[in-house]
Amino acid sequence: MSALAGKTAENLKKIRETKPLIHNITNFVVMNYTANVLLACGASPVMAHADNEVEEMVDLAGALVLNIGTLTDGWVTAMIKAGRQASELGKPIILDPVGAGATALRTNAAKAILAQTWVSVVRGNASEILSLAGQESATKGVDAIHSVTEAAEVAGTLARELGTTLAITGPTDLVTDGRRTLTIEGGHPLMTRVTGTGCSATALIGAFHAVDKDSVSAAATALAFFGVAGEVAGIGSVGPGTFMIRLLDALYTLTPEEVEARCRIAKG
C-alpha cells in the first residue's frame, strides 16, 4: 500500500506546515498527555469544555475531538452543542466512546452524540465498538475484553448504519466505513501500560482529519504514524515511564520520509 504510506507522510507534512487547531472536549485523566501528543506531531491543541464557549472554539478549530472518559451530564450537553456547531460548519468530529458498554451513562452518551451530530470517525477498542452496535458487550472498566477480530465482524454493517468511519484499535488496527476496510500494523506492547495512548490516537486522528477530508484515509494514516512512533519509542524503553516520554519524542522527531518507509497499511 505504497500510496497510503505516501499519504501518511503527506498528511504529517501538512500538519507540521499548517499547525491546525484541534478542539478537544476530553477527559481529565489524559488532557495533559494528549495535548502534548498533538504538540509533538505539529498540531495546536485546545482543551475547552465550558458550555458557553464551545461553539466559539469550534468556529476556530480544524477538527473537534469528543472523549467521554470522565463524563458528567453537563459535559454531554457541551459535547452535543459543540458537535452540532461542527456539523453545521462541516468540520470533522472524532468520537472516543471511552468505556461505552461499562455503564449506561457512557453508552447512552455515545449514542446520543452519534444521533445528534455528524460524527466522522469513531475510534475505540473492540468492546466499545461492539456496545455501539447493540451487541452484548461489556468492558473491564475502560479496557477491552473483546478482540478486534470479534468487532470486525459487525464493524462494516455498523459503519454503514451510522454513516461514519470506525477505527478499532488493538494489536492490529482496523479502519472501515462499510465500503473500504484497511488494517494497520505497528505499535508496541508498552502502549497498553501508559494511560492515554488510546485517547492520544483519537486526538491524532483529529489532527490528520483536519488536513485530510477522507475519513478512512485520515484515520488509517494517523494510526499508521502512531504505530511507527510506538515502535520507535519502544527501542530502549525499560518500562512505561521511559516509554511515555520516548513516544512524545518519536512523534516529534520522526520525519515524513521515515514514517513512509516504516508504516504498514493494508487492505482488510
Burial of 250 (0-12, 13-18, 19+ CB in 10 A): buried
pLDDT tens digit string along 229-249?
999 999 999 999 999 999 999
pLDDT for the residue 146: 52
Q: Which three cell numbers stand for residue 84?
A: 452540532
pLDDT for the residue 139: 46
What are the domain boundaries of the chain? 2-267
pLDDT for the residue 37: 98
> How many Å apart are CA 95 and CA 85, to the nearest integer?
15
pLDDT for the residue 147: 56
DSSP class of 117:
S
Residue 234 makes CB contacts below 8 A (sequence gap 6+) with 188, 189, 190, 243, 246
Q: Are 106 and 97 in contact (CB under 8 A)?
A: yes
pLDDT for the residue 268: 74
For residue 186, which of 245, 130, 247, 142 has the smallest C-alpha distance? Answer: 247
> How many Å apart are CA 28 and CA 108, to the nearest integer?
20
Q: Which three cell numbers stand for residue 233?
A: 519509542
Three-class SS state of 61? coil
Q: Which three cell numbers stand for residue 152?
A: 470486525
> How many Å apart are CA 177 and CA 122, to the nearest integer?
10
Q: Which fold has domain 2-267?
A: UDP-N-acetylmuramoyl-L-alanine:D-glutamate ligase (3.40.1190)
pLDDT for the residue 70: 95
pTM: 0.94
pLDDT for the residue 135: 54
Stretches in the chain below the pLDDT threshold 70? 1, 135-148
